[in-house]
A = this chain, B = another copy of it.
Amino acid sequence: MANTLKINKIENFLYGKAPSVVRCGREVEIGAGQVIPEINFTLPMMTIDDKNWCEVIKQYEEIIDGVLKRAVRLEVPQLLVEFETLPEMTNRPQWGLEITRLLADKMDRCYRDYGLKSALRLTINDVREFNRPPLMRSGKYWGNLCGILEGSAEAGADLIAIESTGGKEIGDEALVNCDVGASIFALGVLGARDMEFLWNHITDYCNRTGVVPSGDSACGFANTAMVLAEQNMIPRVFAAIVRVISVPRSLVAIRQGAKGPTKDCAYEGPYLKAIAGVPISMEGKSAACAHLSPVGNVSQAVCDCWSNESTQNIRMLSANAPTVSMEQLAYDCRLMNVAASEGIESIIRLRDWLSESDSPLDPQAYVLKPEIVLEISERIIAQDNPYEQSLEAARSATEVLKRDSREGKVKIKENELKWLDMIEQQLETLPEDEEQLIEQMLQRPEFRGKFLPAEYGI
């Protein structure tokens, strides 16, 4: 990884524009100047089985018909559709691929009939942890994952993503205990190693087929932290720091060849954009249907795609929920794109309002503020490997939060300030050397049996 940021000036850190543009699907250009809506959806309460399969298909048909119709009506210039498989559909790859095909066909027809430019992102759900402890590189679940990947180009996917969960065996424990060392181990050591293996495999397939390898999300770690913080289970400062720790792990995919747009739920996106220049998909207030969050606006500040994360196909008063989200995304994007059409100065203006409206109020929003992203990114890339980067990520996030809360730039709740000190102390005890951390973690009785070191090449 180069030791300079791809975006190192705040005036170049803009929504809609990324140093490396992604072209895919039916005339879609991401990061080339316009923010593009990315629509996500999932099933309402129902069983996925042989008996119900027909019903499942009907749901997806209804969803995509509604979404495309609304996109055409609102003259959406370009559309990204994400289909995230549910476990049953990964475990029976032909199921996941059948829905991919269905969506691709409908999008094709809509392009021909109405000129709607669109691309389909297939996000494979990581089923490897159905084994506990998970087998990461072999066995039935790995086979299923490869099965759906191998069929994706033929089924009509334009982009591939995954939300891999390597290291989560430790990550969960780390979160509920606010154990920053274990979080770094989970993300920067286990996660990063698994990502290297996994994304090497994915980009290999993509190189053969022309499908775009897009990105991976640390959702199972950093969004879990965010959800836990929203429920007042863990301090917000800890969730903010975990978000930043997740950056080096998600970067691994890009080093292995992923090109973006990064995953919507990867709120670490701005860091990935600054460091690697890839376009990013983000979500915020638009995704309130899926996660409540303290980053509803700031998450939008430098996005290239704007997403709703996921919503069930249930009837609202107006229409089904995915159609409702489609409408909201379309208007959010219209606003950003109209400002962008006036030039960079206007982009910066809107970006800063988006950023300023959230960032002083919550540490999780603050670490997504473009200026802070650049500051911390600079420090992250000065380090050599994912472990050191993760450690530096944690240290710099903690430092920045302490510093800027003192200066009144970010509000941190009284009872959270002591956590910043406690985390700082924890960080001081961590070794500079990865091997030593691994050693320490392998010793810890509560982690024994939770993960298989060999599966991470340890």
On A, residues with C-beta under 8 Å from B are 42, 70, 73-75, 230, 284-286, 288-294, 296-297, 310-312, 314, 316-319, 321, 323-325, 327-328, 330-332, 334-335, 337-339, 346, 349-350, 353-354, 356-358, 361
Contact = CB atoms under 8 A, between A and B. Distances in A.
Nearest to A293: B327
Report the copy number of this chain in the oligomer.
2
6 contacts: A285-B331, A289-B318, A292-B323, A314-B314, A331-B357, A331-B358
Given A290-B316, A292-B327, 17 more contacts: A285-B331, A288-B324, A288-B325, A289-B317, A289-B318, A290-B317, A290-B318, A296-B328, A296-B331, A296-B334, A297-B334, A311-B317, A314-B316, A331-B357, A331-B358, A334-B358, A335-B353
Contacts of A285: 327-328, 331-332
Contacts of A70: 292
Contacts of A230: 73
A354 B75 CA distance: 16
A43 to B, nearest CB: 11
B318 A338 contact: no
Contacts of A317: 42, 289-291, 310-312
B356 A288 contact: no
Nearest to A296: B331
A67 to B, nearest CB: 12
A354 B323 CA distance: 21
Contacts of A296: 327-328, 330-331, 334
A38 to B, nearest CB: 16
Interface centre among A70, A311, A331 (most CB of B within 10 A): A331
A244 to B, nearest CB: 22
Contacts of A337: 357
A324 B296 CA distance: 12
A338 B321 CA distance: 29
A291 B318 contact: yes
Contact of A294 (B74, B316, B328): B74
A287 to B, nearest CB: 8
Given A288-B318, A331-B296, A338 B361 contact: no
A56 to B, nearest CB: 18
Contact of A292 (B294, B318, B354): B318
Given A353-B338, A357-B338, A292 B319 contact: yes
Contacts of A338: 353, 356-357
Contacts of A357: 331, 334-335, 337-338
